[in-house]
Amino acid sequence: MSGAHDTNSSAQFTRAVARVLGEGLLAALATVVEAPRGVGAKVLIEAGGERTGSTGDAALDDALAGQAAAFLSSRAETATLKVEEFAPALAEWRGARVMFERVEPEPHVVVCGAGHVGASLARLARAVGYRVTLVDDRADFVARERFPEQEIELIAASSWAGALERVVGSGRGVSVAVVTRGHNEDEECLSAVLRSRPDYVGMIGSRRRTNIVLARLRESGFDEELLRQVRAPIGLDIGAVSPEEVALSALAEIVAHRRGGAGRPLSTWRRE
């Protein structure tokens, strides 16, 4: 009987993880890795509070759920903690260790515009390890001949809005860089992207150009707080000049946003 129960529990757990990834959700996987009992027990705690699995101790399950929220907000990929660090009242679990792992869709960079900067950004993001989708409304700009790298998804958009709605999905784990050729394309892309509320949105251009686009969106009814989240101009200030350097600046900001980095020189402390 216990074997059948374990198999059913394992199948239920597998389905829950697949659902989290498929629906673009966020969760923490807590695994007991060292303890007098229950080693290997797992609990999947979703950001919305739903749980799958159990350690066999309701009090520990509750404590894991509370710590999972703090873990997810930290943006760490993994963390191993002693139970007394987050649940000191659970004396019977003193000394036990639990590993927390982030469960979320593969980080995805969507690049709108396949000009010099967009092409460079797509290649660089893929080299760093991101899933990459490059979108343009000019089919010849996203022809496979220009991008022999099969890992970069290429989309020739007959409609920016339709293409981006499909590609961005729920927005979870998605960073969007708008690097198109003009105001109108920028506006159309941003209008579509902001409705999905991805984790990060950045737009290339001078202050004047980006202000014009954001003003148009404001006039069309977009919430001011939402528009304030757009990184425009995109990127960190590294003095970028060439398309490749501009792409590096943009990707640096994307990584910093995802990881919770400050974007400051690591050597600053030496001069303070």
Q: Is 67's pLDDT higher than 50?
A: yes
Residues 185 and 226 occupy one common structural domain: yes
Q: Are 56 and 43 in contact (CB under 8 A)?
A: no
Q: Quick check: is 205 in a domain?
A: yes
Q: Give the residue from 103, 138, 154 where a domain finishes.
A: 103
Q: Which of 23, 61, 30 is nearest to 44 (CA)?
A: 30
User: Would you state the pLDDT for residue 1?
Assistant: 43
- Dump pLDDT digits (tens) for 95-148: 999 999 999 888 999 999 999 999 999 999 999 999 999 999 999 999 999 998
Residues 7 and 130 occupy one common structural domain: no
Q: Quick check: is 265 in a domain?
A: no
As a three-state string, the secondary structure of the chain is: CHHHHHHHHHHHHHHHHHHHHHCCCCEEEEEEEECCCCCCCEEEEECCCCEEECCCCHHHHHHHHHHHHHHHHHCCCEEEEEHHHHCCCCHHHCCCEEEEEEECCCCEEEEECCCHHHHHHHHHHHHHCCEEEEEECCHHHHCHHHCCCCCEEEEECCCHHHHHHHHHCCCCCEEEEECCCCHHHHHHHHHHHHHHCCCEEEECCCHHHHHHHHHHHHHCCCCHHHHHCCECCCCCCCCCCCHHHHHHHHHHHHHHHHHCCCCCCCCHHHHC
Q: What is the C-alpha separation between 41 and 10, in angstroms, rounded?
A: 11
pTM of the full structure: 0.80
User: Would you state the pLDDT for residue 6?
Assistant: 55
Q: CA angle at residue 140 from 137 to 144, to 5 degrees?
A: 110
pLDDT band at 260 (very low <50, low <70, confident <90, very high): confident
Q: What is the C-alpha separation between 8 and 92, in angstroms, rounded?
A: 28
Residues 251 and 190 occupy one common structural domain: yes
User: Would you state the pLDDT for residue 7?
Assistant: 44
Q: Are 247 and 124 in contact (CB under 8 A)?
A: yes
Q: Is the dihedral of CA 72, 124, 120, 262 positive or negative?
A: positive
pLDDT band at 4 (very low <50, low <70, confident <90, very high): very low
Q: Quick check: is 269 in a domain?
A: no
User: Would you state the pLDDT for residue 2?
Assistant: 47
Residues 99 and 160 occupy one common structural domain: no
Residue in this structure with the two tokens 């229950």, named with its chain if needed = 38
> Can you say how many angstroms the Cα of residue 153 is from the centroid of all Cα atoms in its chain?
17
User: Would you state the pLDDT for residue 5?
Assistant: 45
> Can you say how many angstroms the Cα of residue 20 is from the centroid of all Cα atoms in its chain?
14
Q: Is 84's pLDDT higher than 60?
A: yes
The dihedrals phi and psi of 16, each to the nearest 5 degrees, come to -65, -45
Q: Give the residue from 103, 127, 157 where a domain finishes.
A: 103
Q: What is the C-alpha separation between 203 and 190, in angstroms, rounded?
A: 8
- Dump pLDDT digits (tens) for 163-205: 999 999 888 889 999 999 988 899 999 999 999 899 999 999 9
Q: Which of 183, 178, 158 is nearest to 168 (CA)?
A: 178
Q: Is 222's pLDDT higher than 90?
A: yes
Residues 114 and 161 occupy one common structural domain: yes
pLDDT band at 226 (very low <50, low <70, confident <90, very high): very high
Q: Give the residue from 103, 123, 151 where a domain finishes.
A: 103
The dihedrals phi and psi of 34, each to the nearest 5 degrees, come to -155, 120
User: Would you state the pLDDT for residue 24?
Assistant: 81
Q: Which of 143, 141, 190, 137 is nearest to 168 (CA)?
A: 190
Q: Quick check: is 73 in a domain?
A: yes
Q: Quick check: is 192 in a domain?
A: yes
- What domain range is 136 assigned to? 108-259
